[in-house]
Amino acid sequence: MELLFSSEQKIKNITDTNEIANLVNYLNVLLNVKKENQLNDIEQSVLNGVIISQFSNYTVNELKNAFRLAVANKLGVEMFNKLDSLVFGKVLKAYAKHKSTIIQAYNATKKIALPDVNKEKLNKLALKEFIKEYKINHDPNGAPIISTPAERVFLHYLAAKKIYLTPGEKQKFISMAEVMLRMEKREQRTKKKQFRLNSDPKAMVKNYARCIALHYKFLSI
């Protein structure tokens, strides 16, 4: 769920073609595609074109997650030690349905005028899904997942006293959040695109800091 609301760069905004090549290499390893069965240069070029043209609104990490779910038999797609445009399309079609279901469940928690008991139940179901997705997508060696669902997971563990932050740790994660926001702003200015921020900068720093804290504390929960 966190990846659906992630601020990571989408495929359509990637300028470094090596990122697409690295994605394909990752998927070859994930699917255990032997060297002799991997795509030749022409086939690779075709697949790259399909990814860039047909799946431009996904992030690299979300595409990786789609295949992880498929390999784990969570998308109802039969998988083999093969990667080409047809396999890619089949997996992402199933993932799109999976994604739609999760978004609908999330939006249901935001409906107005629901009875309190139903709203509480929906919030618990949504939180359970957020935690499940975070466990799947959390990479301790990767970048922190910055999203509203990730912040909710952090607040849940904080309230349950499964996460504890010292004053020094709080300041460290706030500083890291401020640095990350400055870098993202700078990157957007370089690309001459508007950086969409919460109207309250302090709230945005708090959101980033909580997500970063969850990233580094998650393995100890």
Q: How far apart are the C-alpha atoms of 56 and 69, rounded to whole Å? A: 20
Q: What is the pLDDT of residues 169-178, one digit of tens each?
A: 999 999 999 9
State pLDDT tens for residues 21-41: 899 999 999 999 998 999 998
Residue 122 pLDDT exceeds 80: no
Higher-pLDDT residue of 159 and 197 is 159
Binning pLDDT at 50, 70 and 90, where does residue 192 land?
Answer: low
Query: Using 50, 70 and 90 to split pLDDT, how confident is the model at 2?
Result: very low
